[in-house]
Amino acid sequence: MMADNLENQRIFIHLERELDDSQVKDLQNMGLTLYLDSWIPPVGAHPTGYIIADMPIGVLAELAEVEYIVKLDTAERVLEPQGGSGPQVE
């Protein structure tokens, strides 16, 4: 979760098609902040596209029931170095 705001989670919302205006309004009414310019459409072998959003933690169960949402996934990752075989700095 974002360390500066523990009430929200950044997520990927997977969809078969881009949100229409009424869907955007519905999700915003649930308290989501949608990053509409982040929409990536379905491509090639990937049957869904996605949009990035900030979601209040308390709406997760309600959001999971929305019929046009295919999948929810966290967009927050902690990246750590893998292995230790890189060049040594002295």
pLDDT at 76: 82
Residues 6 or more apart in contact with residue 57 via CB below 8 angstroms: 7, 8, 9
Q: How far is CA 71 from the centre of its chain?
A: 9
The predicted structure's pLDDT at residue 79: 65
For 4-63, the pLDDT digits (tens) are 567 899 999 999 999 999 999 999 999 999 999 999 999 998 899 999 999 999 999 999
Q: What is the pTM of this model?
A: 0.79
- Which pLDDT score, from 0 to 100, does residue 1 have? 44
Nearest-angstrom CA–CA distance, 24 and 26: 6
pLDDT band at 3 (very low <50, low <70, confident <90, very high): low
Bridge partners, residue 50, by sequence: 14, 40
Exposure string of 36-53, with b = 16+ CB inside 10 Å and e = fewer, is: eeebeebeeeeebbbbbb
Domains in the chain: ranges and CATH: 8-74 (3.30.70)
